Amino acid sequence: MGLKLEKVIPWGRSFTEYVRMFNLTSDELQGKIIDCAGGPASFNAEMNKKGYKVISCDPVYQFSAEEIAQRIAETYPEIISQVAANQDNYVWKEINSPDELGKVRMAAMEKFLADFPAGVGEGRYLTNALPNLPFEEDKFDLALCSHFLFSYSAQLSQEFHLEAVREMCLVAKEVRIFPLLNLSGEISPHLYYVREMLAKQGYTCQIKQVEYEFQQGGNQLLVIK
């Protein structure tokens, strides 16, 4: 059965947030990057504008810009309401309020929507979903995954997590996943299992702290080589 748009909660982050979440250097931005489960983030749009290359994969890209925009409009009020009701779970430092958060996220998603039709035509947005990526080994320098793996630990099994990470490790020389918390703000129960299984297969897994933190305690990144 295909993805149903009414099951999707679209929420996109910006290029600046990606750089900080994934601790990306200027040299790394010039490499070959795949953004897995990219959703309506503006990372691809802003990378393309800067002359950099990135491919974003997400099954939501099977829908049109108009359909995704409508779904954003439908879910936006509830997301902001939930954030406002749980403000203690967030760090209100660079973003000062739920209303400001909404403006920041909408600005990123509007950049995505404006870029999306052209990006689809140019092959920058693909509908492939983890754990199946249609690329040869080591095609990319970096595979990124933001707010999907570990975030949705209650919805996605540890076996799914391991299979998805293995697939990213197959197509990229290095994998970075952020954050390590689930949606409840706790360290994902799948993290230890994934690290243990990957270590047995010869991968090096490191947890690194980053400067970015919006979800309380969500300032750690998993790096796999």
- Mean pLDDT value of segment 58-74: 97
Catalogue all structural domains in the chain, each as residue range(s) with its CATH number.
11-224 (3.40.50.150)
Residue 45 pLDDT exceeds 80: yes
pLDDT for res 28? 98
Phi, psi for 178 (deg, rounded to 5) = -145, 140
Q: Are 171 and 132 in contact (CB under 8 A)?
A: no
pLDDT for res 2? 67
SS3 label, residue 216: coil
- List, for residues 110-152, the tens digit of each pLDDT value: 999 999 999 999 999 999 999 999 999 999 999 999 999 999 9
Average pLDDT, the chain: 96
- List, for residues 12-35, the tens digit of each pLDDT value: 999 999 999 999 999 999 999 999
- List, for residues 165-204, the tens digit of each pLDDT value: 999 999 999 999 999 999 999 999 999 999 999 999 999 9
The CA–CA distances, whole Å, from 225 to 8, 22, 168, 206 equal 31, 14, 10, 9
pLDDT for res 4? 79
How many whole angstroms separate alpha carbon 222 and alpha carbon 220? 7
pLDDT for res 6? 80
Instruction: Kindly indicate the confidence band of residue 3, based on its pLDDT and cuts at 50, 70 and 90.
Output: confident
Residue 1 pLDDT exceeds 60: no
Q: Which pTM does this prediction carry?
A: 0.96
The CA–CA distances, whole Å, from 34 to 53, 70, 92, 169 equal 9, 26, 30, 11
Cβ atoms < 10 Å from Cβ of 22: 24
